[in-house]
Amino acid sequence: MGFITKRRLASPALALLAVVAVAGVASAGTTTYRTFGDVKESPVGTFTIVSDQMVLIPGYENYGPQPEDGGVYLNSKSVSGKRIGAVSFSFRSSGHVAGGAPRFSLPINTDGVSNKVAFYAFIDVNGCGSDTFVSTTNSACSVNAGSEVFANWAAFAAAHPSYRVAPGSTPFIVADGALGTYTVSDIVLR
């Protein structure tokens, strides 16, 4: 990190640029990911989620063994409480793709008052057509939101401008439902 000498900066714009540059360097590398299930990180920021065995999940005994699941999330609630039209989520997918895996699971609050999760909205690789860029900004990615389906996140946000990411909740990426090796990288949650 640099320092500012006693010389005057040429303009206030340069001073602002210096502050932004230093803040950018200071905030770089502060992303802390958390994982669940069988997940390995390598290289940094790339996660391989392995679903390689069937397990009995309590409460699902009538359905028989289910494929194990795994996922990744940011150890941050920086998007908690934000309106759905003001957030940007994305990741790149490679490896196995099955059903709705891998996908974003986004907790949605509909009343704007409580911390209650009314439902989860899902954006998955298959819903993005042949694109492996799963994102709220990708117009090719359909959104399953409760009982509704939208062509993309912009259509979902336009239909429900008061919906928010549920306060106190954390969006996450999950791979479940089918055996396979799923890889996600370039994760953005803001």
Q: What is the pTM of this model?
A: 0.76
Q: How far apart are CA 146 and CA 123, in angstroms?
A: 12
Say how far apart CA 188 and CA 30 lie, in whole Å.
13
Average pLDDT value over all residues in the chain: 81
- What average pLDDT score do residues 171-175 get? 93
How far apart (Å, rounded) are the C-alpha atoms in residues 152 and 154? 6
* Burial readout 62-91 (b: 16 or more C-beta within 10 A, e: otherwise): eeeeebbbbbbbbeeeebbeeebbebebbb
How does pLDDT run across 38-77, given as a tens digit for each residue? Answer: 899 999 999 999 887 776 666 656 665 666 789 999 878 7
The predicted pLDDT at position 52 comes to: 74
The domains of the chain are located at 32-189
Tokens standing for 52? 């390689």
pLDDT tens digit string along 123-133?
Answer: 999 999 878 99
* 127, burial (CB in 10 Å: exposed 0-12, middle 13-18, buried 19+): buried
Instruction: With a cut of 70, say whether residue 14 has pLDDT above it.
Output: no
Q: How confident is the model at residue 87 (pLDDT cuts 50, 70, 90)?
A: very high
Q: 111 exposed, middle or buried (CB, 10 Å; 0-12, 13-18, 19+)?
A: exposed
